[in-house]
Amino acid sequence: MKRSRNAKILATLGPASSSPEMIEALFKAGADAFRLNFSHGTHAEQQQRYDIIRQVEKTQGRPIGIVADLQGPKLRVGNFTAGKVHLPSGQHFRLDLDDALGDEHRVSLPHPEVFAALRAGTELLLDDGRMRLRVEQHGADFAETVVITGGDLSNHKGVNVPNVVLPLSPLTDKDKVDLAYALEMGVDWLALSFVQRPEDVQEIKRLVGDRVRIISKLEKPAAIDHLAAIIELSDGIMVARGDLGVECPPETVPILQKRIIRAAREAGKPVVVATQMLDSMIHAPAPTRAEASDVATAVYDGADAVMLSAETAAGDYPLDAVTIMDRIIDRVEGDEQYKIIRDASRPTPTGTTRDAISAAARQVAHTLAVGAVVTYTSSGSTTLRAARERPDVPILCLTTNVTVARQMAIVWGSYGVVAPDIHSFGEMVALAIRVAQEQDFAQWKEQIVITAGVPFGTPGTTNILRVAVVEEQ
């Protein structure tokens, strides 16, 4: 059950990785959790992948996390008569709500919310930033622009509006249908795309309640202005560098990545770094040196998990991508410099009992060189606070809730185990010792650190620390 590393791997499933054999191979190679991307594929295909993951989970005897990633409000131009046009720099070009086929003078942009937010001088980025338009005039249903950076524009290419908060809900009608289906399937995390404001997170929280944990994907610069509030409302954070890299200058993306990871770490919320991590491996059997360095940087920065997208979903070498990512993480975490950075960047405990206990558990684990920190939790909060401390040893999460055990699959250093309900402190200690030994986290006569909250079953009440020796109970 135990990996040789602490940072986790989140692998996206798609046409290249939907067979039972491949999904099981990806898990064995190092994938700790799987992402179902609702931007692509049918509900039936997602259900089939979900069912296979759960079968692998049963076969392997380890909880596996599943993240459903909602598409969000993608802005795209309409269709052209010839399929595409060439727009030279300096040419005037109109965007409007008319659904007629476009040409070299105009095209449909079926998003009235965009026109409502425009101002003269606003720049629009098309086709992942390859083309740039500047708004000269605008109204409720049109924008007259001039082409600043020209190129070929084809059907359905994306549009980005940097430095503008768009009056759009992060949940489209499609997302609401996908959301209902994902909840019915029983996914463990929902990733919400294009979060701009705290209100966006509040909206989905009202819809899902406590049925699933929410990952806010930060891919709009506007979200950075509300970073602390968004993190507070979210259960997890994803640094989605695709659109973030389009709307921000490239040189600022690494700075924002470090800032987001640091803020999420401070709050004790798991943070995933995503997009183009091993992008060349979509068609190559090995990554570039720069990509290996990119994965390593995310691990050095303290990310809970790193994500593979098209590399595993549609690439030619999905298994190789997971394998090399596993090797990179393992090598980085064995570096003495990594341990120095980890310890230097550890957040200061807040003035709460749960943080005092979690910090003490980390210190005791280091001083006594124990086999594991064992957390007994109903909601996962005890495990999350333990992970915030980044102890030297693995964190064993014992919980009666299988969903909580699965959710910990993207949390740094954490391993979920579904455990029976207990009714006394003595039962808890005996259970922790038995599971730690059975799962090979601690050997005979080795010590473990146990943290829990009393009364049992009350979320957020971490108030007990116990050192125990692995021996017969």
**Known catalytic residue at 130:** no
217, 265, 385, 388: the catalytic one is 217
Max alpha carbon distance in the chain (Å)? 80
3-class SS letters over 72-128:
CCCCECCCECCCEEEECCCCEEEEECCCCCECCCEEECCCHHHHHHCCCCCEEEECC
In angstroms, the CA 304 to CA 270 distance is: 6
Question: Which amino acid is residue 204, in one-letter code?
Answer: I
5, 8, 12, 35: the catalytic one is 35
12, 122, 145, 275: the catalytic one is 275
Task: Provide the terminal-to-terminal Cα distance of the chain, rounded to the nearest Å.
Answer: 23
In angstroms, the CA 291 to CA 392 distance is: 27
**Known catalytic residue at 54:** no
**Known catalytic residue at 339:** no
Query: Which residues are registered as beta bridge partners of 134?
Result: 123, 146
**Known catalytic residue at 76:** yes
Give the CA count within 13 Å in the CB-facing half-sphere of 144.
5
Q: ∠ CA 89-93-99 to the nearest 5 degrees?
A: 145
For residue 285, say if its preceding peptide bond is cis, omega within 30 degrees of 0: no
In angstroms, the CA 39 to CA 172 distance is: 12
Tokens 């007259």, located at residue: 144
Please return the burial class of 297, using the count of CB atoms within 10 Å of its CB with bins 0-12, 13-18 and 19+.
Answer: middle
74, 76, 84, 259: the catalytic one is 76
Residues catalogued as catalytic: 35, 76, 217, 275
